[in-house]
Structure 1
Amino acid sequence: MKLLDHSYRTLYSELAQRTLDAQFSSEFSIEGRFVSMESRGRRYWYFDLAKPGGGKQRRYVGPVDDPEITARVEHFADLKADHRARRKLVSTLIREAYLPRPDPLAGDITQALARAGFFRLRGVLVGTVAFQCYAALLGVRLPHTALQTGDTDFAQFHSISVAVGDAMPPVLDVLRAVDPTFREIPHPADGRASTQFATRSGYKVEFLTPNTGSAEHDGRPATMPALGGAAAQPLRFLDFLIYQPVRAVLLHGAGVPVLVPAPERFAIHKLIVSVRRRSDNDGTAKGDKDRDQAVTLMDAMIETRQSEALAEAYMEAWDRGPAWRDAIGASLRAVGEETRARLLAPLAASVRALSVDPASYHLPA
């Protein structure tokens, strides 16, 4: 796996800083002010803006203990957009560093939701579009065979959607500004709710949320107050994936600042879900793609000396119970002996470095 030249990693870091600055300054009017408030023992930033007819409008910004958010609150008056320069940085990273860019529709959709506040409200980009962000984030070139997709997936914890006290504009309006043929797809278990939206050509956008309770909830949509009228499909194992997401930039336009799962969690999650795909339709093909993405990210993290973070995610998932262990084991058996040996040896070494016996996690001693 080829590592990115240091100069391109530096360009990406600069782009990440500028895109977050630009989005932050464009979302909040200089006429408003930031206030911090406490909720459930934690402090959060909110933005107050006076309404023309009196009163004020309050918007959720983010946790006070997020140093990047708080730094931008403190320097809000100094933040300025630099759109043209950022487009040039994106172009350089795509054309010279050969980093992946999303399908134009996926990029436009993600950018529209970002501007509507989805990531500010602690939503997370998941799926293959998120996977496309890891090349720049890890400083490697990823194989393009694992980068193709026909949909874009977004996730949010239900508890966050309830707690933030803010909401996006109507999701259907946001999506129709990108493609006017977007329509709601009524949920099969409750036609009053929609977790999926599709264009006339069949491109889909889906909203997901973790199911940490009974498997009975998997089939029913969850009401999500922050998502502008969209519901979300509850899925098991998703809480592991989107816990403590990381900031990244989608290389589209002038750069779209997003939240994506930590790469180590994405890799282990893909191992798990790859063997849980249904066998009908294209489930087998999707399972193979999931496993390819998992192996690719694991290789990348090992190559870039981040195997300790990968080991910690592996152990956390393994410790969650028999269903998790069975899925991980079945997926690793499916990758082939040579690939399995290449992955498990450094993983075992990292587990051992954490003062844990690798054998307790079915890793080579």
Structure 2
Amino acid sequence: MKEVDIVYRTMFAELDQRTFDAAFASDFSSDGLFVKQKSKNQEFWYFQTNVDGKPVRKYVGPSSSKEIDDRVKTFKELKNDLKSRRKLVSTLVRNAYLPAPERFTGDVVAALSNAGLFRLRGVLVGTVAYQCYPGLLGIRLPSTAMQTGDADFAQFHSISAAIEDSLPPILDVLKAIDPTFRDIPHQSDGKFSTQFENAGKFRVEFLTPNTGSEEYSGRAAKMPALGGAAAQPLGFLDFLIQDPVRTVMLHKSGVPVTVPAAERYAVHKLIVSSRRRNDAPGYTKRAKDILQAASLVEALVQTRRHGDLAMAFAEAWNRGPSWREGISTGLSYIEDNKRGLVEDGLRKGLLEIDEDSRDFSLAS
């Protein structure tokens, strides 16, 4: 795999920071003020404004985050350098060959980002998230693994219920991009919708971890922070969206997003590949899962992040028999010429974190 030149990696990091700054500035006007609120022995920042003479608060984040705390103190000084950031995005796409999303996909993610989805600790998942990793890791990944016709977003139910804030109505946000968007009633209860689709069959779906019994996987979960949308519970998803990372999507002037950590995405894809159906669509999805997993492992190894990879791998492996079976099956799907590199990278990482690879069925 080819590394992105250090000049462009530096440029991407600058864009990332400036995009975050601009998004923060645009979220909060100088007419309001920041206030702290305590909940369950933790303090959180909220932004308070007056609407029709009544105070309205918008969730910002935990006060323990130095990054947020610093911006609360200096938000009036932040400037929106839209034109300059557009040039940076254009340079990174055209000269550094970093991937940009298909324009409509980018517009959808940007609209939800502007509406506050990532501020409310939503996470972009799936192939659209995978498109963000080349800039984040500084490694060019196979473009064949980046094709998609949907956008998936996830949020922990506990977070959605606790933050006392919400997106505007999701359908309104999507209709502002394309008026043909409609909600799709959930099969278990038509009052809820976890998916939205336009006339071109582009689909937006909301997901949440299923940490209970399998019977919940067929039900829609109410999500108070998602603007009227529900979410589809999925197993293994809590592992994927734990400790996500911030980055920027290369669309227009840059879109600030939150994505899973690359090492968690790679391990999760190994598990997911083992759960695909044995039919033509399932085989196609499995091949894509494995290509993404193997490519990210190779990128993590190349950037000497063996330890991060091994920590995620060991965490998943130790979660139980179904997790171990999924990982082992996923590894078996990787082509022989790539599997050796993947397993060797895992062994080196396990050694780095003082784990015996034989305990993970990875004996030399």
Partner of 1:220: 219
CA distance in 2 between counterparts of 1:271 and 1:67 reads 34
TM-score (norm 2): 0.99
Distance in 2 of aligned mates of 1:96 and 1:34: 41
- One-letter amino acid matched to 1:225: P
Task: Give the CA deviation at 1:364.
Answer: 2.6
Letter matched to residue 23 of structure 2 = Q
2:139 aligned residue: 140
Higher mean Cα deviation, 262-271 or 59-68?
59-68
Answer yes or no: is the 8 Å Cα contact 1:221–1:232 preserved in 2.
yes
Equivalent-residue separation in structure 2 for 1:200 and 1:354 (angstroms): 50
Q: Alpha carbon RMSD of aligned pairs, Å? A: 0.9
Q: Return the letter of the residue paired with 2:9.
A: R
In structure 2, the partner of 1:56 is 55
Aligned to 1:175: 174
Deviation sequence 1:183-238 (CA, Å, 0-9, x none): 00011111111000000010100000000000100010000000000000000000
Which residue does the alignment assign to 1:235?
Answer: 234
Give, in whole Å, the separation in 2 of the partners of 1:139 and 1:254.
20
Partners of 1:48 and 1:57 within 8 A in 2? yes
Query: What residue in structure 2 maps to residue 289 of structure 1?
Result: 288
Further displaced range: 157-166 or 353-362 = 353-362
Distance in 1 separating the partners of 2:41 and 2:304:
36
CA distance in 1, matches of 2:199, 2:309: 40
Unaligned runs of 5+ in 2: none
In structure 2, C-alpha distance between the alignment counterparts of 1:351 and 1:281, rounded to whole Å: 36
Q: 2:154 matched to 1:155?
A: yes
Structure 1 position 13 matched with structure 2 position 13: yes
Aligned residue for 2:109? 110
Secondary structure of the residue that 1:85 maps to in structure 2? Answer: helix
The structural deviation recorded for 1:17 is 0.7
Question: Are 1:270 and 1:294, in contact at CA under 8 Å, matched by a contact in 2?
Answer: yes
Matched, 1:75 2:50: no
Matches for 1:175-324 after TM superposition, within 5 Å: 175-280=174-279, 282-324=281-323
- Asked whether 1:340 is paired with 2:339, we answer yes
Alignment check: 8 A CA contact 1:272 1:331 kept: yes
Percent identity of equivalent pairs: 55
Q: What is the count of residue pairs matched by the alignment?
A: 364
Q: Distance in 2 between matches of 1:90 and 1:172?
A: 29
Q: Is the 8 A contact 1:345 1:364 kept in 2?
A: no
| TM-score, length basis structure 1 | 0.98
**Take 1:98 and 1:2, find their aligned partners in 2: how far apart are those partners?**
11
Distance 1:292 1:254 in 2: 29
- Contact kept in structure 1, 2:306 and 2:352, CA below 8 Å: no
1:292 & 1:129 partners in 2: Cα distance? 15
The one-letter code of the counterpart of 2:219 is R
Task: For residue 190 of structure 2, give the secondary structure of its aligned residue in structure 1.
Answer: strand
Q: Secondary structure at the match of 2:107?
A: helix
Q: Is the 8 A contact 2:124 2:258 kept in 1?
A: yes
Structure 1 residue aligned with 2:120: 121
Q: Amino acid of the residue matched to residue 148 of structure 1? A: Q
1:165–1:226 CA contact under 8 A, matched in 2: yes
Give 3-state SS (helix, strand or coil) of 2:90's partner: helix
Shift of 1:357: 1.0
Give the deviation of 1:280 after TM superposition: 4.2
Question: Is the 8 Å Cα contact of residues 246 and 261 (structure 1) preserved in structure 2?
Answer: yes
Over 3 Å counting, the alpha-carbon distance change for 1:171 and 1:281 in structure 2 is farther
The separation in 2 between residues aligned to 1:353 and 1:104, in whole angstroms, is 41
Residue 217 of structure 1 aligns to a residue in which SS?
helix
Contact 1:179 1:199 in 2 (8 A): yes
Q: Secondary structure at the match of 2:363?
A: coil
Give, in angstroms, the shift of residue 182 of structure 1. Answer: 0.2
Whole-Å separation in 1 of the counterparts to 2:345 and 2:125: 27
Aligned residue number for residue 328 of structure 2: 329
Q: Is the contact made by 1:344 and 1:364 (CA closer than 8 Å) also made in structure 2? A: no
Which residues in structure 2 correspond to 1:20-35 (within 5 Å)?
Answer: 20-35=20-35
- Structure 1 residue 349, shift from structure 2 partner: 1.6
1:191 alignment partner, SS class: coil
Question: What letter corresponds to residue 331 of structure 1 in structure 2?
Answer: G
Deviation string 1:295-315 (CA, Å, 9 cap, x unpaired) is 010000000111110000000
Task: Detail structure 1 runs of 4+ shifted over 4 Å in the superposition.
Answer: none
- Structure 1: distance between partners of 2:96 and 2:179: 34
> 1:343: how far off?
1.1
CA deviations on 1:25-64 (whole Å, 9 max, x unpaired) are 011111101111121122111000122x312110000111
SS in 2 for 1:75: helix
1:281 deviation in Å?
A: 5.6
Letter matched to residue 345 of structure 2 = P
Q: Distance in 2 between matches of 1:81 and 1:336?
A: 47
The separation in 2 between residues aligned to 1:152 and 1:321, in whole angstroms, is 30
Q: Distance in 2 between matches of 1:106 and 1:71?
A: 32
